[in-house]
Structure 1
Amino acid sequence: MNYLVTGGAGFIGSAVCRRLAADPANRVVNLDLLTYAGNLASLKSIEAQPNYRFVQGDIGDEALVLRLLREEKITVLMHLAAESHVDRSIDGPDAFVETNIVGTFRLLKAARAYWQELKGDARQRFRFHHVSTDEVFGDLPFDSGIFTEDTPYDPSSPYSASKAAADHLVRAWNRTYGLPVVMTNCSNNYGPFHYPEKLVPLIILTALDQRPLPVYGAGDNVRDWLHVDDHAAALECVAARGRLGASYNIGARAERRNIDVVRTICTLLDQRRPRPCGASHADLITMVPDRPGHDRRYAIDPARIEDELGWRPAHSFETGIAATIEWYLENEWWWRPLHDRQAGRRLGAGTPREATA
């Protein structure tokens, strides 16, 4: 399989690239613009492999995308490039519209042009795999309901609205032009190489700095947590065997309140890296004003991908979060420059803010 992965220097994209490039039979081309969240250090383990290539560029550059598709004889275009931080979308939605909507539109145009040129088996094998989020479905009551692939879209933030628009464009290109697509919508990811503005790494690293741990509102908002390596495995599975035109929800059946996630991290850090003062890291938890339009609860039903494709997560939340904390404790070389830069930006803004969750 020859893969073109967009956004492959990001958190999920780099996990996908590392997984796909582990098979020498695969060819992996990573197209990433290297905005603030893109980090080539996340790809250090594969950067010298002959079956991996990095290209710095914009998904909105149709000529570049088409050239790469042709040069590399791409079998699967796996589209992960996106602006994805809810707080940033509230403060500045323009980039989200440009990247997530316009960028996806231009990528679809290039993919369609390439697909129409293909003949025979190459045309039959080509897939456009669009990777999206459960946030397009809006939110659920705290005590009932679950997202399925048939749940109506009801996005709450500029971020989720832009992803919903991109999802609709992909479906339109499938129905109108016949472009062979598969789609996935995932729950909250966590794991190694996660940019420090997101909830799990932010709490880990801020706790290590002995600074207040900001949690929105009462911390009651609920998310379904998915280890990034499990997500990468699911994406590979869908790209290879998913039904054309179908969407698959990817979740780990691991719902947790935000405050419970934070407390779990604090408890594990108490065991692995006790505070010098002897107090618990949980004493650093600080409740801050809620953000606008904060979704109450996300919960994903992964039955379709489980039943049709046989995918199951390898990590429980307990094993996954413990391994994630261990990784951050052992890999300061990766996170320290990012964390220091992020901490400076947050302190310069005044009130500490929690990451998306």
Structure 2
Amino acid sequence: MILVTGGAGFIGSNFVLDWLQQSDEPVITLDALTYAGNVHNLDSLREDPRHTFVHGDICDRALIDRLLATHRPRAIVHFAAESHVDRSIHGPGAFIRTNVEGTFTLLEAARAHWQALPADEKAAFRFHHVSTDEVYGSLSADAPAFTETHPYEPNSPYSASKAASDHLVRAWFHTYGLPVLTTNCSNNYGPYHFPEKLIPLMIVNALAGKPLPVYGDGLNVRDWLYVTDHCSAIRAVLARGRVGETYNVGGWNEMPNIEIVRTVCALLDELKPDPAGPYSRLITFVKDRPGHDRRYAIDARKIERELGWRPAETFATGIRKTVQWYLDHPEWVAQVQSGAYRDWIAAQYQPADAQAA
């Protein structure tokens, strides 16, 4: 059995669904169900005896202790995190609480649980920490991609909180011997992605005939990783990764944001044409966000060299699957777009002087 924290969020729920498609090993999903956590992502598992959902907070040490004592998982896969840079700029406190204090609480609970295990179970136990490439900071256009030894240079409250959690995980390995694994991934996309992030926001707004807000000049570059490829990488690291090591997970798909938006528009033109004209007419440049990192890029050669992992999806195949999923699941989109979500979007994306593209 494994314990998955944040398993009702975007990446976490995809991982739980993928895990139970690939294995019969049971999963305990723990999630606080904050705004981006959605238990409906796991509806297909409602009657599945291999899956147990627990509504709870990773900062609740008593709850974590009870779950570990009751279920005795062989691994903890730790996704739970506040993860939206924009929200971290406006409210950093929640990011410190969940990403730093929550990770500390989990590590201490895991350490106590692990130390009390019989020798064979103790040797098999793993604490897998899921992190981000944003801890490495920003790259210039011609700089080499991030490797696992790149210095940490976080630039937002979000990335700083994740960097802090990475450091805690490393320290618990070196100080206490807790058998940890860390993965730092690039930008994920795919099904169940909360529509405040770039790709789902573009899809949802385009279908509603709303402006497609693009920060600054749209030339900020990210590496894009289809979410099920990320899930397969985590399975590989959990199964074969060297204890104490970090593995960067990327999609080998560096693209500027404006190219992503235009690709989404072209796919929607093909799959669901708008009588009013090409969706690209809706592209609108907005005021850039504070401290917006210019470029992220992942060098994922270590995980390929050591564990034989490479992404199965190209960006062309992954983005087509993603757009089609949103077209096929309008009820999911409607369910997550609460009044609070609409207020946030209206407040966040302020028009800039630049002309619509």
TM class, shorter-length: over 0.9
Matched, 1:287 2:285: yes
| TM norm structure 2 | 0.96
Q: 1:324 to 1:353 in 2, by over 3 A?
A: farther
> Are the structure 2 counterparts of residues 53 and 352 from structure 1 closer, same or farther at C-alpha, using a change threshold of 3 Å?
farther
Structure 2 residue 256 is the aligned partner of structure 1 residue 296:
no
Deviations along 1:15-56, one digit per CA (max 9) or x if unpaired, are: 111111224531100000110001011111122111110001
Task: Give 1:89 shift.
Answer: 0.2
- Tell me the amino acid that sits aligned with residue 136 of structure 2: F
Change (3 A) 1:221 1:25: same
- Secondary structure of 1:45 counterpart: helix
Residue 341 of structure 1, CA deviation: 3.6
Check whether the contact 1:149–1:249 (CA below 8 A) recurs between aligned residues.
Answer: yes
> Structure 1 309/281 Cα, relative in aligned 2: closer, same or farther at 3 Å?
same
Match of 1:75 in 2: 74
Partner residue, 2:215: 216
Contact 1:226 1:254 in 2 (8 A): yes
Evaluate the alpha carbon distance shift between residue 229 and residue 353 of structure 1 in structure 2; reply closer, same or farther with a 3 A threshold.
Answer: farther
Give the residue type in structure 1 aligned to 2:316: E
| Structure 1 residue 328 displacement after superposition | 0.4
Q: 1:333 to 1:325 in 2, by over 3 A?
A: same
Aligned to 1:178: 177
Displacement, 1:353?
8.2
- The answer to whether structure 1 residue 252 and structure 2 residue 251 are counterparts is yes
Superposition map of 1:55-134 within 5 A: 55-134=54-133
Tell me which amino acid in the other structure corresponds to 1:75: R
Residue number in structure 2 paired with 1:324:
322
SS at match of 2:182: strand
Where does 1:118-197 land on structure 2 (aligned, <5 Å)? 118-197=117-196
Q: How many residues are paired up?
A: 352
Closer, same or farther: CA 347–148 of 1 in aligned 2, 3 Å: closer
Indicate the larger mover: 17-26 or 145-154.
17-26
Instruction: Provide the rounded CA distance (Å) in 2 between the counterparts of 1:229 and 1:24.
Output: 15
Distance 1:164 1:258, change over 3 A: same
SS class of match (2:322): helix
Distance 1:257 1:55 in 2: 39
**SS of residue paired to 2:44:** coil
SS in 2 for 1:292: coil
- Which range moves more in the overlay, 238-247 or 337-346? 337-346
* Paired residue type of 1:299: A
Alignment check: 8 A CA contact 1:7 1:82 kept: yes
What is the deviation of 1:352?
4.7
Aligned to 2:43: 44
1:346–1:352 Cα contact (<8 Å) kept: no
CA contact (8 A) 2:287 2:350 kept: no
Q: Where do residues 262-277 of structure 1 align in structure 2 (5 Å cutoff)? A: 262-277=261-276
- Equivalent residues of 2:5, 2:77 under 8 A apart: yes
State the AA in 1 paired with 2:152: Y
* Aligned counterpart in structure 1 of residue 304 of structure 2, from 291, 303, 306: 306
Post-superposition Cα deviations, 1:325-354, rounded to whole Å, max 9, x if no partner, equal: 001001111111223546621465274589
Q: Runs of at least 4 residues of structure 1 off by over 4 A?
A: 350-354
Residue type of the alignment partner of 2:219? D
More moved, 66-75 vs 121-130: 66-75
CA contact 2:196–2:345 (8 Å) conserved in 1: no
Cα separation, 2, equivalents of 1:339 and 1:262: 21
- Paired residues of 2:114 and 2:125 also in contact (CA < 8 A): yes
**Sequence identity (%):** 56
Distance 1:250 1:347 in 2: 30
Cα deviations by residue, 1:253-296 (Å, 9 ceiling, x for unpaired): 1000000000000011111111122x211111000111110000
Decide whether the 8 Å contact of 2:7 with 2:13 is kept in 1. yes
| 1:45-101 CA distance string (max 9 Å, x none) | 122111110001111111211211121121010000000000000001000000000
